[in-house]
């Protein structure tokens, strides 16, 4: 992980410093979004199955 400046100490560094600079944060964001969507889909399928299992069979 590299910093977006060439200083060798923190003296003179001002402003916000983003620690994730150049570390592939777009890839990890995509991985997180895919996992969230998968959790929603699998949870929905499980709840639908569990609901149908409790229905009275005529």
Of the pLDDT bands very low, low, confident and very high (cuts 50, 70, 90), residue 32 is very high
26 CA to centre of own chain: 10
CA distances from 15 to 7, 18, 27, 51 (A): 14, 10, 26, 54
Domain tally for the chain? Answer: 1
In a domain, 6, yes or no: no
31-36, long-range: CB < 8 A, 24+ apart: none
In a domain, 42, yes or no: yes
Residue-wise pLDDT tens digits, 38-54:
999 999 999 988 888 88
* Whether the model pTM is above 0.75: no
Domain that holds residue 52: 24-58
Asked if 40 contacts 58 with a C-beta cutoff of 8 angstroms, the reply is no
CB contact at 8 A, 1 and 19:
yes
């Amino acid at each position: 992980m590299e910093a977006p400046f060439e200083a060798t100490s923190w003296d003179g560094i001002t402003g916000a410093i983003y620690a994730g600079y150049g570390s592939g944060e777009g890839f990890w964001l995509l991985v997180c979004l895919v996992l969230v969507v998968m959790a929603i889909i699998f949870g929905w399928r499980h709840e639908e199955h569990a609901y149908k299992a409790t229905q009275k069979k005529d």
